[in-house]
Amino acid sequence: MHVRRTLAPDLVRTAWLAMAIVSLPASAWAQAPQSRDEALRKAREEKSKQVAHYAPGTLEKYVLKLENDKILARLAQGSDKGFYPYFHTIVSGSGIAVGPAYRNRLLFGRQGTLNVILAGSLKKYWMVDGSIDFARLADNHAFANVHLRRRGLPQEDFFGLGPDSTQSDFVSFHAQDTLVGAFGGLRPLPHLAIGGGVDYLDVTIGHGKDRAVPSIEERFTEATAPGLARQPAFLMSQAFIDLNLRAPSGNPRTGGQYKLTYTWFSDRTFDQYAFRRLEGEVQQYFSAFNQRRVLALRARVLVDDPEPGQQVPFYLMDPLGGSHELRSFRRYRFRDRNLIMLQAEYRWEILTALDGALFYDTGKVEPRRADINFRDLETSWGFGIRLGTNQRVVLRFDAAIGGTGKPHYLLRFNHAF
């Protein structure tokens, strides 16, 4: 007896080989190149049969259009002359206002810039604003500006006056104002501006349009909200001195700013609401590790001094609370004649164009100047993210806690300070 190996596996193997040889591509049997130069030429000739115009992908097309049509640059700095879309808030809490705007930077041989804006928001805030600005006169040693503005602010917040105003007194009021004026000044040194201005201001206060809260007249009177019953026209005269050594100015990491402003509000209608305002502000920036770590400090003090027997209208009191000061509180949470505000913010670079921030705001308002001190201050603290360039912050997100106990989230298109 012998073992019979099956032939099938051998035959199958041979059959596969035969098929493989027969099925070799014809190019395998073609004339091989005789030189390296020839081989390269053949490769290029092969390609020449398939050349085609470059076809960018969809994403590439859009990104190239964004850049080569200078869309981003136009959004950032705008064209020298022409219409552009306005896309910004009118005041804090107005919501984004949109509308047509016109700019002409070529006036008087590029010395002057005309700007006209018509804008409105979904919350029915609106604005008409026109100005001619001369930012750099006399080889940057002088500046001037004339302006005209009219606004409708239908849902402004009010909580009453004083440091002890309560959340439960939250009301809204409608304000419509007209501002016409001019200012100008000198720059004796590159970072020092000294100047002044005159403005005509006419404000009308009315029924608040925020349906979620009562209107101001339902909770407050002339006694508890001076200027509620009637609103005069004001002539505002102002003088200021401003030493700005912040660098870079739009997103500072070093230096400081020291500013003093004196304004006289003259009641031209009733002679009941005239007052003088003195405001001082100091910002100081300390940086380390090639300016990648920044400690930003800010202090602001404001004192309103009414003429004897007169009042400061509530709507002209500088409020605390909102996206720039005491960030865990609603906008305009605290109002009174005098104010002190202290802020500290630690900023660190996470990535190029992205900074993290830890902040601490503290301050208060008081009816009496003597009570402006460091006692009984309201506080808020939190963390945030800033997106921007060396020259400016374009997006800021802050999560603020304190005071009310509830976190307050903010998304803004500018720096806190």
Partner 1 sequence: MPSDGHWLRRLAGVALVGAGILFCIAGHANGPRFFPDDPLQVDRDTDLDASGVTEIEDGNLWDFVSNTFFTPGDDSDIPAVNVNTIDEVPDSSWFVNRIGKRPVTVDEIVRGPDLVPALSVDGWPIVQGKDTGLQPGFRIADPTGHLYQLEFDPPSNPEMATGAEIIGTAFYHAMGYFVVPVYLVEVDRDSLTISPKATIKDITGKRRRLEKPDVDEVFRRAARQPNGKYRALAGRFADGVQVGSFRYAGTRPDDPNDVFPHEHRRELRANRVFAAWLNHDDSRGLNSLDMLEERDGRKFIRHYMFDFGSIMGSGTAFAQSHRAGNEYILDWMEGVKTGATLGIYLRPWLRVKYPDVPPAVGRFEGDYFDPEGWKPEYPNPAFRNMRPDDAFWGARIVAKFSDDIIRAVAAKAKYSDPRATDFIVGTLIKRRDKVLRTWLNQVNPASDFELGPDGTLTFGNAAVETGAATPPSAYTLRWSRYDNTLDRHVPVGDEVRVTGPRASTPREALSGTDYVSLEIRAEHPQQPRWARPTMVYFRRENGGWKAVGIERAISTKPESIRLRQASPVVVPAKQKKDDR
**Sites for partner 1 among residues 179-208 (CB under 8 A):** none
- Of 32 and 189, which CB lies nearer to partner 1 in the complex structure? 32
CB of 111 to partner 1, least distance (A): 9
Question: In this chain, which stretch among 40-48, 147-155, 226-234, 404-412 interacts with partner 1, using CB under 8 A?
Answer: 40-48
How far is residue 302 CA from its own chain's centroid? 23
- Region 318-357 residues binding partner 1, contact defined as CB under 8 A: 346, 348-352, 354, 356
Backbone angles phi, psi at 61, to 5 degrees: -60, -45
Binder of partner 1 out of 1, 3, 23, 55 (CB under 8 A): 55
Binder of partner 1 out of 23, 54, 166, 370 (CB under 8 A): 54
Residues listed for the chain: 417
Residues 6 or more apart whose CB falls under 8 angstroms from that of 24 comprise none
- Of 1 and 52, which CB lies nearer to partner 1 in the complex structure? 52
Place of tokens 């865990």: 328
Residues 6 or more apart whose CB falls under 8 angstroms from that of 325 comprise 300, 341, 343, 361, 363
- Of 348 and 413, which CB lies nearer to partner 1 in the complex structure? 348
- Of 109 and 308, which CB lies nearer to partner 1 in the complex structure? 109
- Of 17 and 411, which CB lies nearer to partner 1 in the complex structure? 17
- Of 78 and 184, which CB lies nearer to partner 1 in the complex structure? 78
Binder of partner 1 out of 1, 3, 23, 109 (CB under 8 A): 109
> How are beta strands 354-366 and 338-351 bridged, if at all?
antiparallel
Place of tokens 């005159």: 198
Our finding on whether 166 is near partner 1 (CB under 8 A) is no
CB of 6 to partner 1, least distance (A): 9
Q: Which of 311, 195, 345, 185 is nearest to 261 (CA)?
A: 195
Size of the site for partner 1 (CB under 8 A): 72
How far apart, in whole angstroms, are the C-alpha atoms of residue 45 and residue 24? 23
Provide the 10 A C-beta neighbour count for residue 182: 15
Binder of partner 1 out of 3, 23, 44, 164 (CB under 8 A): 44
Our finding on whether 19 is near partner 1 (CB under 8 A) is no
Our finding on whether 77 is near partner 1 (CB under 8 A) is yes
Residue 121: C-alpha distances to residues 151, 205, 389 (Å): 12, 19, 28
- Region 281-300 residues binding partner 1, contact defined as CB under 8 A: 289-290, 292-293
The first and second tokens of residue 207, run together, are 């029924």
Our finding on whether 80 is near partner 1 (CB under 8 A) is yes
Residue 62: C-alpha distances to residues 17, 78, 244, 394 (Å): 53, 20, 40, 22
Our finding on whether 248 is near partner 1 (CB under 8 A) is no
Our finding on whether 164 is near partner 1 (CB under 8 A) is no
